[in-house]
Structure 1
Amino acid sequence: MLASEDKKKAMTNPSSVFKHPTDVVACKDLDRKEKAAILKQWELDARLMQVATEEGMTEGEHSLFADVKKAQEKLGLPDLQEDGAPTKSGP
């Protein structure tokens, strides 16, 4: 069972609670809206990691961006909407 404090933690730092985006999809203690919010945060984190990697700011850590997108697709979630000019980090 996922404690409420772990749910809050997952909303801001998904990888601190879950090992992989598919774990979010499989979690029975979260409703669809919570899963969507966690995966959205994970996508944003993955985008930032990609930018940092491109700029040589990481040790070549593996990005989970593709895995996050697959998990979002499993839940039938829409892509993040962009509200302006595109940037490296996306919406």
Structure 2
Amino acid sequence: MSNTKILTVAVTAALLAGTGLAQAQEREPAIVTGDTLVEGYKISANVALTSDYKFRGISQSNQDGALQGGFDAEFGPGFYVGTWGSTVNFD
């Protein structure tokens, strides 16, 4: 069997195998904020307590613990805003 036939069979098998994994996307539930019903918004937050905050291999917390947190809001496909922060200590 030539390399071209092997490649053709492999690519065809990979494409056919991926079709079984396709699923329809379900509609996200509406989020209730106070008295307002907001559709299409997705809000998330995160918090972490780390033993040492390093950026590119350099300690940003003087080898002490650091508190980190973030907040993200998604307003539809392709549009979101977010923020992230951490305590630092350069002493």
| Shorter-chain TM band | under 0.3
Structure number with the higher helix fraction is 1
**TM-score, structure 2 normalization:** 0.24
Structure number with the higher strand fraction is 2
Q: For CA contacts below 8 A with separation 6 or more, give which structure has more relative contact order.
A: 1
**TM-score, structure 1 normalization:** 0.24
In terms of Rg, which structure is larger?
Answer: 2
